[in-house]
Amino acid sequence: MPTKGLTVALLLWAAGARAGDEAAVRPCSEVRDAEARASEEVARCTPYTPPMYLRLMLGGGAVPYVNGAFGELTFDASYSSFSGNQARGGAFSSGVSISLAGAFDQRWVMVVAGLFIEIDLTYILFSGFWAHEPKNLPVRFSVGTRLGAAITQSYPSKNDAPYADPYLLARPELHTFADLAIPFGKWRRWALTLRGAIDTPVAMNSVFRYSMSVGLSRGWTNE
C-alpha cells in the first residue's frame, strides 16, 4: 500500500508540474493583449518576419535605351510563411502581387499580376541556417521574385511613327527585387521598405525595366 500511494503521489505531482509548465507558456495573442509582459515573452512573440502581411510600394524607374521615366504602384499580400514558427514567421513567404505602371510621357500604361516568393536572408543567416530562432535585428534584408502576366497598352509617338496605332501587348514577366525592411512598433508589425527591382522575360536574357521604390507594410500572425 505505501508503495502504491507513493506511486500515485509521484504521478499526480508530475502531472501538476507538466500542467504548470504548459500554463506558464501563454499563447502569443494573450501576451500581446496583456498589460504586464515579461521580456522573454516579448522576444518569443515578436515577429521576425510576419507570416502574413500587406505591403504597398510606390516608386519609379526607366526602360533601357528609351528616353523618359515611369511611375509604379505595387501591392503585395503575403498569405503564407514557412521554415519558422507561426508566431515569429519564417525565412520564406509567398503571396500575390499586383503592379500598376505608366510612362510619365503617357506613351504606355501597364498592369502586372502574379505570384511571388520572398526569402529573408537575415533570418537564414542569424538563425545559423535554422539551428535556432534568430534574434530581432533593426533591419531585414530579403530577395524575391514575382512571376506575373503583364498587359501593356502602348501609344506610339506621332513624331516617331505618325501613322502607328495604339497596340496591346501581353507577356509573362519576372519582377526580381531586393528589399531592405526597417521594422518599427513594439511588435514589429509595421515596416518601412526600400526596394530595387528589375523586370525581365522569364528567360532573364534582357531587361524590360528597372526601378526603385519605397513602401510600408503591415504584418500579423494567427496567434
Residue 5: pLDDT band with limits 50, 70, 90:
low
What percentage of residues in the chain have a pLDDT greater than 70?
73
Q: Among the three residues 12, 27, 45, which one is the final residue of a domain in this structure?
A: 45
Q: What is the pLDDT of residue 6?
A: 47
pLDDT in tens, 76-117: 999 877 766 666 677 899 999 999 999 998 889 999 999 999
- Paired with 90 in beta bridges are none
Q: Which helix H or strand E contains 49, and what residues bound it?
A: none
Asked whether residue 184 falls in the same domain as residue 101, the answer is: yes
Q: What is the pLDDT of residue 99?
A: 97
pLDDT in tens, 139-174: 999 999 999 999 999 887 655 555 567 879 999 999
Does pLDDT of 18 surpass 50?
Answer: no
Q: What is the pLDDT of residue 154?
A: 87
Asked whether residue 51 falls in the same domain as residue 41, the answer is: no
Asked whether residue 34 falls in the same domain as residue 121, the answer is: no
- SS3 assignment, position 8: helix
Query: How far apart (Å, rounded) are the C-alpha atoms in residues 154 and 165?
Result: 9
Q: List the grid coordinates of 109.
A: 500604361
Q: What is the pLDDT of residue 8?
A: 47
Asked whether residue 67 falls in the same domain as residue 171, the answer is: yes
Asked whether residue 26 falls in the same domain as residue 68, the answer is: no
Asked whether residue 88 falls in the same domain as residue 32, the answer is: no
Asked whether residue 102 falls in the same domain as residue 81, the answer is: yes
Asked whether residue 175 falls in the same domain as residue 109, the answer is: yes
Number of domains, the chain: 2
Q: Report the largest interatomic distance among the alpha carbons of the chain, rounded to a whole angstrom.
A: 106
User: Which domain range does residue 31 map to?
Assistant: 1-45
Does pLDDT of 218 surpass 50?
Answer: yes
Residue 24: pLDDT band with limits 50, 70, 90:
low
Asked whether residue 33 falls in the same domain as residue 88, the answer is: no
- SS3 assignment, position 126: helix
pLDDT in tens, 195-213: 999 999 999 999 999 999 9
Query: How far apart (Å, rounded) are the C-alpha atoms in residues 87 and 6?
Result: 41
Query: How far apart (Å, rounded) are the C-alpha atoms in residues 4 and 12?
Result: 12
Mean of pLDDT over the chain: 82
Asked whether residue 34 falls in the same domain as residue 129, the answer is: no
Asked whether residue 148 falls in the same domain as residue 160, the answer is: yes
DSSP one-letter code for 36? S
AA identity, residue 79: Y
CATH number for the domain harbouring residue 113: 2.40.160.20
Q: What is the pLDDT of residue 23?
A: 44
Asked whether residue 60 falls in the same domain as residue 163, the answer is: yes
